[in-house]
């Protein structure tokens, strides 16, 4: 795993700080605050330690805020050694963990001064007979905390769009349409919508609920019409077994699901995805 070995201890520390401190303590059997704990773990480039870091990231990704892209494939897909420049650092028969180096170009303000910063970015590909799931940990760092004054981000690369777009080049993989699965859970009151964008015959339309109101519960007549439309980027909230998910974003027509909060047990988002795909 050259990317972990060749990266600095600081880069490895930033990678570990993407994850909840409770998971770091439990996996590495160490105590302390997140920053000090991550620094201590990241210090060593010993192959055994690097393998433990890769295993930790692989098994703990589902606790993080994440963007998930769902694709359908022809059944002959094999997980690649390299994913659009990201290096594979852990694998199993049904999934592989990749790490990319994401580069940020920034301008420090007052006075203006160009600078930059890198992060190690975990990405996980999961394969089933029908679907390929691409999970990106959401990098939500306040980059100003790494500089001596406020900054403006000029660019960041690679992007999720560029990396997922690379999968579509051979024509055997395409974005999954999740409308059926999302609407099945909606019909069972397992989720409800607070913000929607959807296709009309000749245009696009949107609905946005006030406050904490939810569409189906508040206005079943509008729900009855919207459920027949192809859905674009929407915000739903989980109910019943999906309450812990809270608000999540989904663009069913493009096969995208985004989780906006950390998962306490690392499973609630997975179960939501499983039910969406099982009903699709």
Average pLDDT per 10 consecutive residues for the chain, totaling 280 residues: 93 94 94 93 96 96 93 91 94 95 94 94 96 93 85 94 88 94 98 96 93 95 95 97 94 96 79 96
- How confident is the model at residue 137, as a pLDDT? 95
Q: What is residue 237's three-state secondary structure?
A: strand
Question: Token pair of 207, please?
Answer: 């609905």
DSSP H or E segment with residue 118: strand 113-127
Q: Please state, as a whole number, how many other Cβ atoms lie within 10 Å of the Cβ of residue 53.
A: 24
DSSP state for residue 37 in the 8-state scheme: H
């Amino acid at each position: 795993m050259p990317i972990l070995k060749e990266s600095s201890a600081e880069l490895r520390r930033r990678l570990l700080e993407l994850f909840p401190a409770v998971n770091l303590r439990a996996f590495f059997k160490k105590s302390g605050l997140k920053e000090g704990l991550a620094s201590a773990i990241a210090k060593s480039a010993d192959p055994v330690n690097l393998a433990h870091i890769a295993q930790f990231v692989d098994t703990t990704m589902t606790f993080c805020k994440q963007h998930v892209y769902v694709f359908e494939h022809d059944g002959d897909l094999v997980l690649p050694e390299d994913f659009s420049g990201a290096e594979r650092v852990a694998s199993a028969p049904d999934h592989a963990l990749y790490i990319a180096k994401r580069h940020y170009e920034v301008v420090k303000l007052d006075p203006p001064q160009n600078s930059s910063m890198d992060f190690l970015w975990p990405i996980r590909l999961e394969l089933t007979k029908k679907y390929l799931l691409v999970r990106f940990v959401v990098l939500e760092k306040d980059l100003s905390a790494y500089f001596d004054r406020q900054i403006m981000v000029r660019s960041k690369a690679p992007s999720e769009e560029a990396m997922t777009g690379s999968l579509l080049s051979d024509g055997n993989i395409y974005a999954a349409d999740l409308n059926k699965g999302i609407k099945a859970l909606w019909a069972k009151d397992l989720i409800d919508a607070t913000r929607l964008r959807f296709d009309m015959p000749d245009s696009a339309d949107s609905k946005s609920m006030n406050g904490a109101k939810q569409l189906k519960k508040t206005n079943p007549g509008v729900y009855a019409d919207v459920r027949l439309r192809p859905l674009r980027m929407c915000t739903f909230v989980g109910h019943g077994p999906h309450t812990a998910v809270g608000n999540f974003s989904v663009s069913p027509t493009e096969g995208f699901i985004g989780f906006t909060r950390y998962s306490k047990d690392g499973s609630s988002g997975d179960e939501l995805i499983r039910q969406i795909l099982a009903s699709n």
